[in-house]
Amino acid sequence: MSTLTPPVIRERKRGGGPQNRDSLWAALPWVGPVLLLIFGVVLFPAAYMIYSSTRRISQAGTNVEGVGFENFATVFADPNLPRVLLNTFVWVIVVVSVTVVLSLLLANFLNKPFPGRTLVRMAVIVPWAASVVMTTTVFYYGLDRDYGIMNSFLVDIGLLDSTYGFTKNVATALGAAIVVGIFVSIPFTTYTLLAGLQAVPSDALEAAKMDGAGPVRTYFSVVLPQLRGALAVAVLINVINVFNNLPILRIMTGSIPGYSADTLMTYIFKVLQFDRRLDIASALSVVNFAVVILIVAVYVKVVRPMKET
Amino acid sequence: MSVSAPAKAAIPPVRQDRVRKYGPDGISGRRLGLRIAVGVIIALVFLTPYLIMLVGSLKTRPEILRVPPRYFPQDGLQFGNYASMWSTPETPLPFNLISTLIISIFATLLVLLVATPAAYYTARFRFPGKIAFLFLVIVTQMLQPAVLTAGLFRQMLVLDINDTWLAMILINAAFNLSFALWIMHSFFAGIPKEIDEAAQLDGAGRLKVLFTVNLPLVWPGIVTAIIFTFVSSWNEFAASLVIMSTAENQPLSVALTKFIGQYATSWQYVFGISIVAIIPVIILFALIEKRLIGGLTAGAVK
């Protein structure tokens, strides 16, 4: 899972003599190639996708004619859409909230000194370094009803009476996907929060102790407010990553026929690959994109993750 | 303090000295033992799927499909799987591995080539539209290939590079560019510009200053950018799934999903390939473990 941190734009105050101020033309050789890649491979496809969503495109890929918002009308009239949207929101909200709570506990623990801590931290990185497809594959195999090792482990420790086909029905397949989603999201989140914990000034902790605050009170009144920035970044990045995740759901819910276990992302890929409806898929992608932007905008507005405190 | 904590006074002073390095207060041996135990459990939880992978890759086909399964194989470890796995009917794995390698290496090189000068320049000089440029970079950071797959697919068809390495190299480079640029930007910005000025007085041009004076100082940032770009290209799935249609061109991430849903999946091979693909990346991550905490959130977390 590619995990990126949006940094704050912070103009540094520096001397800025005349030799440090260039014209646009002087800047172009340095930043031009970046602009070329961003416009060519990120923004152009985005614009092209929006354009495609207003055309009728044959299954062979021929651009037939403009149809205005007809594709969007088709998308919104789609009887599968309400279920797909519901799945998407359950998927995002459950994965992100459980991930953040568990990562918070984990980061606090990994911030305490004990022998072997580095090794435990290394172990927590592994799901981040391992490909999501490969991690999901192991869970898919492990949860197989007949030969799955995790399934038989659940029976051996008495959690199940007999092995169960988790990936064969909608609710348990989505549940299993959510568990994998949490598992692969925890490493990045934990490390981001660890970074935040290290920025908590030790004199603030000392002061709280001087004032006679207990560990719980110190945590909620001193540590948690300091973590605000790291938490905000972790939640934002997780929402974007989880929302756009394809492989976990595609593998875990892949053997379920129909669309009852799909999220927007897997649904788009089914329309694209099986129906070969590029126009409808583009319209769905635009909707998906709009939802992402909306979530990010609301989040930034409400939580103000970039606020300098 | 001594009144309120009589229990603490009972700890022999020698012992407290020994554990003092594990906390400003000097925590007791029992709590330390508890922490170690919790640490071991956490490590096990995170490693178990990969241990299942490792053990599975050494099982025979009847053993891995056995009902009910056994945790450890009884008919010996099949190290031969690591040789025979390269020729399976499901997908041409050697080609998939080469594809993944070429795409990831060239995408990383392209990112370095494009992002390093831009990061240096934006950290050092001012130009009209600089804020707009940096804002653009942040916006692309919010986008992932998965969101734009429909558009990317259509674009690659029009450019006639659909189903080629070049398409995936460009896509992986473009979508990882912003992170690399930001991380290097923050490293370049940390170098005092007086160093540049001294070199410039000696008559060095900007490029020479970048290469001879700055690069040696920011290499940790460059290593971080390299590893992030490489790992993210190595694991990319959504765009490859749609754009790479020929079996030989597909990267491992896509190729491995072909095993799933087969009548009797060769799981031992899926796991063998996964282990081969994961271990180098874990080593790369281990190398920057410290920096994951320090540099990752540079600029975002104060």
Which positions in chain A touch B128 (Cβ < 8 Å)? Answer: 23-24, 27
Q: Give the model's confidence band at B22: pLDDT under 50 very low, under 70 low, under 90 confident, else very high.
A: low
Kindly report the nearest CA distance between residue B101 and chain A, in angstroms: 14
User: Average per-residue pLDDT in chain B?
Assistant: 82
Which positions in chain A touch B189 (Cβ < 8 Å)? Answer: 12
Nearest CB neighbour to A195, from listed B170, B232, B296: B296
| Entry pTM | 0.84
Tell me the CA distances in angstroms from A217 to A99, A150, A206, one per residue in order: 24, 40, 13
8 Å CB contact of B297 and A192: yes
Residue B77 CA to residue B60 CA, distance in Å, equals: 8
DSSP annotation of A11 reads P
Residues in chain B: 302
Q: What is the chain B residue with the closest CA to A48?
A: B151
Q: What is the per-residue pLDDT for B200? A: 81
Nearest CB neighbour to B174, from listed A41, A119, A133: A41
8 Å CB contact of B175 and A42: yes
Tell me the CA distances in angstroms from B202 to A16, A17, A136, B197, one per residue in order: 20, 18, 57, 9
CA atoms within 13 A on the CB side of A293: 9
- What is the distance between the terminal CA atoms of chain B, rounded to a whole angstrom? 34
8 Å CB contact of B300 and A139: no
Nearest CB neighbour to A254, from listed B174, B179, B261: B261
Which positions in chain A touch B34 (Cβ < 8 Å)? Answer: none
Nearest CB neighbour to B150, from listed A22, A120, A278: A278
Tell me the CA distances in angstroms from A6 to A168, A236, B139, B300, one per residue in order: 39, 9, 9, 7
- What is the distance between the terminal CA atoms of chain A, rounded to a whole angstrom? 30
Q: Shortest CA distance to A166 belongs to which of A186, A187, A184, A142?
A: A142
8 Å CB contact of B148 and A45: yes
Q: What is the per-residue pLDDT for B196? A: 81
Omega into B13 within 30° of 0, i.e. cis?
no
Per-residue pLDDT, averaged over A13-27, amounts to: 63
Let me know if A278 is exposed, middle or buried by CB neighbors in 10 A (0-12, 13-18, 19+).
buried
Q: A97-119: per-residue pLDDT in tens?
A: 999 999 999 998 998 888 888 89
Residue B108 CA to residue B93 CA, distance in Å, equals: 22
Which positions in chain A touch B38 (Cβ < 8 Å)? Answer: 109
pLDDT of B293 higher than 70: no
8 Å CB contact of A133 and B253: yes
Which positions in chain A touch B101 (Cβ < 8 Å)? Answer: none
Encoding tokens for residue A73?
A: 């009308």
8 Å CB contact of A138 and B23: no
Q: A129-149: per-residue pLDDT in tens?
A: 888 999 999 999 999 888 888
Residue A148 CA to residue A167 CA, distance in Å, equals: 11
Which positions in chain A touch B54 (Cβ < 8 Å)? Answer: none
Q: What is the per-residue pLDDT for A2? A: 40
Per DSSP, the residues of B130-152 read HHHHHHHHHHHHT--TTTTHHHH
Rounded to whole angstroms, the maximal C-alpha distance in chain A is: 77
Q: A43-79: per-residue pLDDT in tens?
A: 888 888 899 889 888 877 777 788 888 889 988 988 9
Q: Shortest CA distance to B148 belongs to which of A281, A70, A55, A63?
A: A281
Per-residue pLDDT, averaged over B5-30, amounts to: 50
Strands, E assignment, chain A:
55-57, 63-66
pLDDT of B11 higher than 60: no
Residue A59 CA to residue A72 CA, distance in Å, equals: 18
8 Å CB contact of A134 and B67: no
Q: What is the per-residue pLDDT for A304? A: 64
Q: Shortest CA distance to A98 belongs to which of A169, A29, A181, A32?
A: A181
Which positions in chain A touch B258 (Cβ < 8 Å)? Answer: none
Q: For residues A286 and A205, which has the higher predicted lDDT (pLDDT)?
A: A286
Which positions in chain B touch A50 (Cβ < 8 Å)? Answer: 151
What backbone torsions phi and psi does residue B247 show, to the nearest 5 degrees?
-55, -40
Q: How far is CA B101 from the centre of its chain?
A: 14
Let me know if B251 is exposed, middle or buried by CB neighbors in 10 A (0-12, 13-18, 19+).
buried
Q: B209-243: per-residue pLDDT in tens?
A: 888 888 888 887 888 788 888 888 988 998 999 89
8 Å CB contact of A114 and B294: no
Nearest CB neighbour to B138, from listed A6, A109, A115: A6
Nearest CB neighbour to B36, from listed A34, A115, A241: A115
8 Å CB contact of B150 and A285: yes
Residue A188 CA to residue B110 CA, distance in Å, equals: 25
